[in-house]
Amino acid sequence: MKRTVRHLADGREIIYFDDSPNPPDRTATDTRDLPPQESASQIRRDPLTGEWVAIAAHRQTRTYKPPAGLCPLCPSSPGRATEIPESDYDVVVFENRFPSFSETVHGVEARDGLVTIRPGRGRCEVVCFTSDHNKSFGELSPRRVRTVVDAWADRTEALSGVPGVEQVFPFENRGEEIGVTLSHPHGQIYGYPFVTPKTERMLQTAQAYLDAHGRPVLGDVLAAEQADGRRMLVSSEHWSAFVPAAARWPVEVHVVPHRQVPDLPALSGAERDDFAQLYLQVLALLDGLYDKPLPYIAAWHQAPVRTGRDLAWLHLEVFSVLRTADKLKYLAGSESGMAVWINDATPEDIAAKLRAGAVSQSNP
């Protein structure tokens, strides 16, 4: 893989990850007249929960559902300059033009009554998986998925070194039902200036379980799912995918490496190759559930930069708000108001339906 670093017209960094044979030199320049990037992001600590909330009002002006001919993530063409100056690319990562967190935000810590306010320092990047606007992640080749994994790992290392970043979160949103406003196949990476509430809770649980049993909790969960088998979907030499027994979402799959590692950079080459093959199988199962592209969020759970690295166990959570082929799961009173989830289907039933889709695909 060839890695090339360039810069856009407003100074933002763009990085090309080329896996094609004889990759071209990335020499195209951004010809747009862009103003210098400015961000006024803040984080405010909720005195009732202790959780940080990001305030990023400048994001109201970000690009919203443009037609395919005006997609800012497609390659540039004569007469139309986009976020990617080159006429083609394999995988590309660039700093978000409308970031929730930014390295350039100014200010110091302050207080507004009981509320602590800090600059929203961090970094947000966009990851384009392919230059083909009409493809999806599940249609990528295993080789291309491996390149994406290498890009995620590269950026995790880089963002972990950004001053103030405490956690790095790669993710993909797919489908309008999820809230996607750019249909080009892409994901994002957030460098948070705090450890997220979900990760804090998971680390607390992992520590309590380790203290009580002397073993990592996800390792025991993985072994139990493999032994039980009812919720297992696919397994390989280095990874397993299953529907968790306490699934919150109508469709939810966890993809877990068999070896405890804290983050993506810690994966071996063999583990990265194996993930590429298995994850494409998982995505095929998801799209086969309702015989149409499934809207989903794919969220990587990694160890924070400075805490809990011996407790965390890297894994990918893929979930969907689609509870039937034509019905959405709305996060109403219990979920939104109290964070108490109510699932309309059993995890065992969903796992069986996903496996049945695999059988029907193999026997048309």
- Does 301 appear as a known binding residue? no
Write out the residue range of the structural domain in which residue 102 sits. Answer: 2-194
CA 252 – CA 120 distance, rounded (Å): 31
- Is residue 6 domain-shared with residue 142, that is, in the same domain? yes
Q: Considering 194, 220, 240, which residue would you say is the last residue of a domain?
A: 194
CA 300 – CA 172 distance, rounded (Å): 9
User: Which tens digit of pLDDT belongs to each residue from 266-324?
Assistant: 999 999 999 999 999 999 999 999 999 999 999 999 999 999 999 999 999 999 999 99
Q: Considering 194, 210, 236, which residue would you say is the last residue of a domain?
A: 194
Q: Which two tokens stand for residue 168?
A: 């790095």
- Is residue 127 domain-shared with residue 223, that is, in the same domain? no
Other Cβ atoms closer than 10 A to 297: 19
- Is residue 237 domain-shared with residue 134, that is, in the same domain? no
User: Which tens digit of pLDDT belongs to each residue from 128-178?
Assistant: 999 999 999 999 999 999 999 999 999 999 999 999 999 999 999 999 999
- Is residue 162 domain-shared with residue 290, that is, in the same domain? no
User: Which tens digit of pLDDT belongs to each residue from 228-271?
Assistant: 999 999 999 999 999 999 999 999 999 999 999 999 999 999 99
- Is residue 169 domain-shared with residue 209, that is, in the same domain? no
Q: Report which secondary-structure segment, H or E, holds 4.
A: strand 2-7
- Is residue 293 domain-shared with residue 162, that is, in the same domain? no
- Does 58 appear as a known binding residue? no
68 versus 245: which is more confidently predicted? 245
Phi, psi angles (nearest 5°) of residue 19: -110, 0
- Is residue 206 domain-shared with residue 185, that is, in the same domain? no
Q: Identify the CA nearest to 91 among candidates 234, 276, 329.
A: 276
- Is residue 183 domain-shared with residue 322, that is, in the same domain? no
Choose the catalytic residue: 7, 58, 106, 186.
Answer: 186
- Tell me, yes or no, if 238 is annotated catalytic: no
Measure CA 306 to chain center. Answer: 20
Q: Considering 194, 227, 259, which residue would you say is the last residue of a domain?
A: 194
Is residue 351 within 8 Å of residue 240, measured between CB atoms? Answer: no
Average pLDDT over residues 17-33: 95
Q: Which one-letter amino acid corresponds to residue 87?
A: S
- Is residue 113 domain-shared with residue 138, that is, in the same domain? yes
Q: Which two tokens stand for residue 68?
A: 């395919």
For the CA atoms of the chain, what is the radius of gyration? 21
Phi, psi angles (nearest 5°) of residue 239: -140, 155
Residue 235's CATH number: 3.30.428.10
Residue tagged 């300059």 (tokens): 81
Is residue 240 within 8 Å of residue 230, measured between CB atoms? Answer: no
- Does 124 appear as a known binding residue? no
Q: Identify the CA nearest to 151 among candidates 166, 172, 132.
A: 172
Q: How many domains does the chain have?
A: 2
- Is residue 212 domain-shared with residue 102, that is, in the same domain? no
- Is residue 303 domain-shared with residue 185, that is, in the same domain? no
Would the pTM of this model clear 0.85, i.e. be above it? yes
- Is residue 189 domain-shared with residue 307, that is, in the same domain? no
Task: List Cα–Cα distances, 364 to 227, 350, 358, in angstroms.
Answer: 30, 21, 10
